[in-house]
Amino acid sequence: MKVAIGGSTGFVGTELVRQALAHPAITAVVGLSRRDTPVPPGSEANATKLTSVVCNDFETYSQDVKKELHGTDACIWTIAVTPSKQNTLPFDDVCRISRDYAVTAIKALASGPREHGQPFRFIYVSGIGARRDRAEAESDKFLVERGLVEYCLMRGDAESQILTFADKSSGEVEASVARPGLIHGPGKERRTIAGVPYIELHELAAALLDQVMNGVGKDTMMHDDLVQLGQKAHPSEQ
C-alpha cells in the first residue's frame, strides 16, 4: 500500500512517517511538505520506503509532484494553522492553508490511478473544536471567549467539503475526519486547557493509520474514538 502524508515534517506528520515506515503492509510512504522529509530516528532500516516530495504550491500541483503521487492508495492530511497561531496570519491565509489545501489534495489524489482497485482513502486531521453549524459554534462559550468561532467554522467547512466529495464519488473515495483534542508527545510542552482532553501522539498516529489500512469506520472520529482506536492499534507504547 502506498500512503501519502500531507505535512510530513510537522509534529503529527513525523510520527505518522515513523509508524508508516515500520508497518509491514505499507510498501511506500510519500512525505509531502514544503521542505525535505527526513527519515525519523530509528527508522533507518525502512528508509527505502520513503519518498520525500517538496511541494511549493499546494493549490496547483506540479507535474513532478503528480508523478510522485501516482498510484497513492491513501492520504493522511495534517497541514493546518493551529488555533494558537491563527492570529499570526491574515484569516484568508489561515483558510487557504487549513481548508483549501486539503480540499485540493483529496480531489487531486483521488483522480489518480491505483493498482489495487480499492477506494482511495483520505483522512483529514481537524480538531476537537471544529463546528459545521454556525448556531452551535456561536453558542459555545469556550469558542466565543477565545475568539475561535470563525476558525472552528472554517475547519468544519473543510470537513464538510471533504466528506461531501467522498459521498459523491460513487464509492471511489472513502473519507474520514479526525477531531483530536490536545496532542502530547516527545519534544512538545505538555499544555493543559480546562475542558479539553489530550491524546498521546503515538496513539493518534496509530489511529489514523488504522483508518487508512483497515477502512474508514466513521466519517467523523471524535477524540474518544481516536484514543480507543489508537490504544488498540498500538498497545506496545502504553
Please say whether the beta carbons of 235 and 210 come within 8 A: no
For 165-208, how does the pLDDT look when each residue is reduced to its tens digit (9 = 90+)?
999 999 999 999 999 999 988 877 777 787 788 999 999 999 99
Q: Above 50 in pLDDT, residue 238?
A: no
Half-sphere exposure of 28 (CA within 13 A, CB side): 15
Q: Which CATH architecture has domain 2-233?
A: 3-Layer(aba) Sandwich (3.40)
The per-residue pLDDT for 118 is: 83
- Average pLDDT score over residue span 198-223: 92
Q: Above 60 in pLDDT, residue 149?
A: yes
What contacts 136, CB < 8 A, 6 or more positions away? none
pTM value is 0.94
What contacts 18, CB < 8 A, 6 or more positions away? 40, 42, 43, 205
The per-residue pLDDT for 195 is: 78
The per-residue pLDDT for 235 is: 58
The residue ranges of every structural domain in the chain are: 2-233
The per-residue pLDDT for 3 is: 97
The per-residue pLDDT for 69 is: 94
